[in-house]
């Protein structure tokens, strides 16, 4: 989704802006641009339809110099990817502005502005905002008041960075519904969509709250809340180092992130287990008394995070014997639902900024749930600030658009939650210790599975010329299959669907032929024999089968059946373990296809708009 960087400093800010944009690339974008107020108090701008590298090249051939500037990567929502639609947008060579979010009443504002004589050079919803600032400036004569007047007219979501050529020592930032952080330097300030963009220049950050507007000068920062009252916002010191966004020798961020899972899982377990017991207070100070009252759980999330929720539902019902419903956030937020007494609402999100998940949580807070919990990878995200209870997965920054370590660490957090709730529902300390042991075994077992990478790279060759693939699983392995299919489609652009294996004969079997590879996860559990019969149905129709099975599963490779026997003994950790080969499969297929793995087309890392 769109990325914003801005800076005000004594030095020339263009290199900071370009580096910041580079570090926001992972969010997904189609065009990029940068504007500064130069030393002659004029606005200068460059934009490209394409990658930040091209913007850097353009900047090298005709550098822009100035101490105040804004920059942007655009992920098209209103208007196609094009140079004219790229940000920053400028009104009458006076005001330049970058925006992330969606202005819902842009059509109405556009009509008013056309009547007032404004020309439009883009199809974006953003251009009305820069025009509105310009218009207000004609009366207010200064940028802060002009921005206040503008945001009063806006409906929808925005993070904004605004500069005015006549106030070269001022940068205004505003946020509502879209993330924006201020970086505090020594005698200089920065703004960005997230902290990674600014790590090379500062470790100190202020997270703007909903409705905040920041008036930023080189030596003075004033923040106003939504009532236009001056407020103090705390400075947070980040422990992240600027090289967290490096690939550490891996070809892609996704591969680095897949291989960092043993460590990410270990980090997510640290301090959460003590003497064989789950530390319930890691979910919040009063988590224990809340969990004592839980009679059911509602999980809401999107994409991969939704799949994590689906797996957790199996755990909750089996281990804690608590009913659990899982729902896609964009569906939940627009339907009338019934809240059962004493239901805990759980939202799951890697980024903590997913618009639908956030809106679902906001709705849940008004709907009579026992309490709300966010399982999230980003401290100080909108979701963690909104939820009453919070569990932070400590996966570390995930840059690749395809979620990998965020997923497995969400599952770790969810398993801890299941145990914490189950303890209030009769789970004894012996059983708890056994589950904790399973959790503690995870980093080592995931590490073992990563060693199958060469075998999986080999299988990947068979998929690279295919247009479709089926993924099968049963029970808690159906969501694993769904996640495998999502990974394959999002980074290799192969159409992939997941089915409960028992559903095959109710429709999808009609699709199976020798051009349709079928992937199945086959743990050695009580459903293995049933799964084997489902697989025979595929084999009989000439479909080529790829089976990820446990060493003890007693299934062998034969004609048309490739079995990769992995060391993934069946226990509650198995869904996490079987995810690893599926991540590697998607990755290597995408490598062979030469796809843009870390930034797949049309996708964004952090989906901050509906
Ligand atoms: C997964 O690979 C995707 N990038 C996507 O489905 C993602 O999980 C979804 O957009 C939700 O994001 P969140 O976890 O940041 O809320």
CATH number for the domain spanning 343: value is 3.40.50.10490
Could you give the dihedral angle defined by the CA atoms of residues 7, 9, 12 and 15, in that order, rounded to the nearest 10 degrees? -40
Residue pair 324/340 in contact by the 8 Å Cβ criterion: no
User: What is the per-residue pLDDT across 512-563, written as a single tens digit (0 to 9) for each?
Assistant: 888 889 999 888 877 778 777 777 777 877 778 899 998 888 888 888 889 9
> What is the distance in A from the centroid of ligand 1 to the CA of 304?
5
Task: Identify which of 525, 515, 491 has the alpha carbon closest to the alpha carbon of residue 501.
Answer: 525
Of the three residues 413, 448, 483, the one that is the final residue of a domain is: 448
Same domain? For 433 and 516 the reply is no
Of the three residues 448, 472, 496, the one that is the final residue of a domain is: 448
User: What is the per-residue pLDDT across 77-86, written as a single tens digit (0 to 9) for each?
Assistant: 889 999 999 9
Residue nearest to atom 9 of ligand 1 (CA): 303
**Does the annotation count 2 as an active-site position?**
yes
> What is the distance in A from the centroid of ligand 1 to the CA of 215?
33
Q: What is the mean pLDDT of the chain?
A: 93
Same domain? For 574 and 466 the reply is yes
Same domain? For 329 and 268 the reply is yes
What stretches in the chain show pLDDT beneath 70?
244-245, 568
Separation between Cα atoms, residue 297 and residue 417, nearest integer Å = 11
pLDDT for 245: 66
**In a 10 Å sphere around its CB, with 0-12 CB exposed, 13-18 middle and 19+ buried, how is residue 423 labelled?**
buried
Of the three residues 388, 417, 448, the one that is the final residue of a domain is: 448
pLDDT for 546: 93
Residue pair 260/409 in contact by the 8 Å Cβ criterion: no
Could you give the dihedral angle defined by the CA atoms of residues 236, 240, 246 and 247, in that order, rounded to the nearest 10 degrees? -130
Q: What is the DSSP string of 10-77?
A: SS--HHHHHHHHHHHGGG--SEEEEEEE-TTS-EEEEEEES-HHHHHHHHHHS----SEEEEEEE--S
Same domain? For 464 and 417 the reply is no
> What is the distance in A from the centroid of ligand 1 to the CA of 85?
26
Q: Please list every protein residue whose CB sits less than 6 Å from any atom of ligand 1.
A: 302-305, 349-351, 354, 357, 401-403, 490, 606-607
Same domain? For 193 and 251 the reply is no
* Residue to mutate (ligand 1; options 326, 348, 350; most atoms within 8 A of CB): 350
Same domain? For 217 and 278 the reply is no
User: What is the per-residue pLDDT across 241-292, written as a single tens digit (0 to 9) for each?
Assistant: 777 667 888 999 999 999 999 999 999 999 999 989 999 999 999 999 999 9
Could you tell me where the DSSP H helices lie in 451-527? Answer: 453-463, 478-492
CATH code, domain with 95? 3.60.20.10
pLDDT for 244: 67
Report phi then psi at 269, rounded to 5: -90, -20
Residue nearest to atom 2 of ligand 1 (CA): 402
Same domain? For 434 and 471 the reply is no
Residue nearest to atom 5 of ligand 1 (CA): 303
Separation between Cα atoms, residue 61 and residue 101, nearest integer Å = 32
Same domain? For 513 and 578 the reply is yes
Same domain? For 302 and 395 the reply is yes
**Tokens for 538?**
């595929």
370-389 exposure pattern, b = at least 16 Cβ within 10 A, e = fewer: bbbbbbbbbebbbbbebbbb
> What is the distance in A from the centroid of ligand 1 to the CA of 208?
23
> What is the distance in A from the centroid of ligand 1 to the CA of 351?
8
Q: Characterise 91 by phi-psi region: left (phi > 0), alpha (psi -120 to 50), beta (else).
A: beta
Structural domain boundaries enclosing 181: 2-237
Q: Please give the tally of structural domains in the chain.
A: 3
Judged by DSSP in three states, 468 sits in strand
Pairing mode, strands 518-522 and 468-473: parallel
Same domain? For 107 and 174 the reply is yes
Report phi then psi at 458, rounded to 5: -65, -45
* Residue to mutate (ligand 1; options 254, 348, 354; most atoms within 8 A of CB): 354
Counting Cα atoms < 13 Å in the Cβ hemisphere of 105 gives 12
Q: Which atom of ligand 1 is nearest to the CA of 303?
A: 6
pLDDT for 366: 95
**Does the annotation count 217 as an active-site position?**
no
Residue pair 35/213 in contact by the 8 Å Cβ criterion: no
Token look-up 């929720």 returns 309
> What is the distance in A from the centroid of ligand 1 to the CA of 410?
12
Report phi then psi at 384, rounded to 5: -70, -25
Task: Give the active site residue among 256, 405, 487, 605.
Answer: 605
Residue nearest to atom 4 of ligand 1 (CA): 402
Same domain? For 366 and 500 the reply is no
Q: Which atom of ligand 1 is nearest to the CA of 604?
A: 4
Same domain? For 343 and 419 the reply is yes
Task: Give the active site residue among 2, 91, 302, 324.
Answer: 2
Separation between Cα atoms, residue 149 and residue 582, nearest integer Å = 51
**Tokens for 448?**
């073992």
Whole-structure pTM value: 0.81
Per-residue CA distances from 152 to 69, 97, 263, 490 (Å): 24, 17, 46, 39
Q: Which atom of ligand 1 is nearest to the CA of 383?
A: 16
Report phi then psi at 463, rounded to 5: -95, -20
């Amino acid at each position: 989704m769109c990325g914003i960087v801005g800076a005000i400093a004594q030095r020339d800010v263009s290199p900071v802006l370009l580096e910041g944009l580079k570090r926001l690339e992972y969010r997904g974008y189609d065009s990029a641009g940068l504007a500064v107020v130069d030393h002659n108090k004029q606005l200068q701008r460059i934009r490209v339809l394409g990658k930040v590298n091209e913007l850097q090249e353009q900047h090298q051939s005709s550098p822009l110099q100035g101490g105040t500037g804004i920059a942007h990567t655009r992920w098209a929502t209103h208007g196609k990817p094009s140079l004219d639609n790229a940000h920053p947008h400028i009104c009458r060579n006076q005001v330049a502005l970058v925006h992330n979010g969606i202005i819902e009443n842009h059509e109405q504002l556009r009509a008013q502005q056309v009547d007032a004589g404004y020309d439009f050079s883009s199809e974006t919803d953003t251009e009305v905002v820069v025009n509105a600032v310009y218009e207000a400036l004609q009366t207010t004569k200064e940028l802060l008041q002009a921005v206040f007047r503008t945001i009063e007219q806006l409906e929808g979501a925005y993070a904004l960075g605004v500069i005015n050529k006549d106030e070269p020592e001022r940068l205004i930032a505003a946020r509502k519904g879209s993330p924006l952080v201020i970086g505090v330097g020594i005698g200089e300030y920065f703004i960005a969509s997230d902290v990674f963009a600014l790590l090379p220049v500062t470790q100190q950050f202020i997270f703007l709250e909903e409705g905040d507007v920041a008036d930023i000068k080189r030596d003075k920062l004033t923040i106003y809340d939504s009532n236009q009252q001056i407020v103090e916002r705390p400075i947070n010191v980040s422990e992240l180092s600027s090289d967290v966004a490096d690939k550490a020798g891996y070809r892609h961020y996704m591969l680095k992130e897949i291989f960092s899972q043993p460590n990410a899982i270990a980090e997510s377990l640290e301090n959460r287990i003590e003497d064989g017991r789950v530390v319930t207070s890691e979910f919040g100070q009063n988590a224990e008394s809340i969990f004592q009252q839980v009679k059911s759980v509602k999980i809401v999330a999107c994409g991969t995070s939704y799949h994590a929720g689906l797996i957790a539902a199996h755990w909750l019902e089996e281990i804690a014997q608590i009913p659990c419903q899982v729902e896609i956030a964009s569906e939940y937020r627009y339907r009338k639902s019934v809240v059962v007494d004493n239901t805990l609402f759980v939202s799951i999100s890697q980024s903590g900024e997913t618009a639908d998940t956030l809106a679902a949580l906001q709705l849940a807070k008004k709907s009579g749930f026992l309490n709300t919990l966010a399982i999230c990878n980003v401290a100080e995200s909108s979701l963690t600030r909104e939820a009453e209870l919070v569990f932070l997965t400590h996966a570390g920054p995930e840059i690749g658009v395809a979620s990998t370590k965020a997923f497995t660490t969400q599952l770790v957090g969810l398993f801890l939650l299941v145990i914490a709730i189950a303890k209030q529902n009769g789970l004894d300390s012996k059983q708890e210790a056994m589950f904790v042991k399973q959790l503690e075994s995870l980093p080592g077992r995931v590490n073992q599975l990563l060693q199958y990478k060469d075998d999986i790279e080999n299988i990947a060759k068979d998929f690279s010329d295919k247009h479709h693939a089926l993924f099968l699983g049963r029970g808690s392995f159906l969501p694993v299959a769904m996640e495998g299919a999502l990974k394959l489609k999002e980074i290799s652009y192969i159409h992939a669907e997941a089915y409960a294996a028992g559903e095959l004969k109710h429709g999808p079997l009609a699709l199976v032929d020798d051009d349709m590879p079928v992937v199945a996860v086959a743990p050695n559990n009580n459903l293995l024999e049933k799964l084997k019969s489902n697989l025979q149905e595929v084999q009989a129709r000439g479909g080529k089968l790829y089976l990820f099975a446990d060493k003890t599963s007693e299934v062998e490779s034969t004609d048309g059946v490739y079995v990769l026997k992995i060391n993934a003994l069946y226990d509650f950790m198995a869904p996490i373990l079987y995810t690893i080969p599926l991540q590697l499969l998607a990755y290597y297929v995408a490598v062979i296809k030469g796809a843009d793995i870390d930034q797949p087309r049309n996708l964004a890392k952090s989906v901050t708009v509906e």
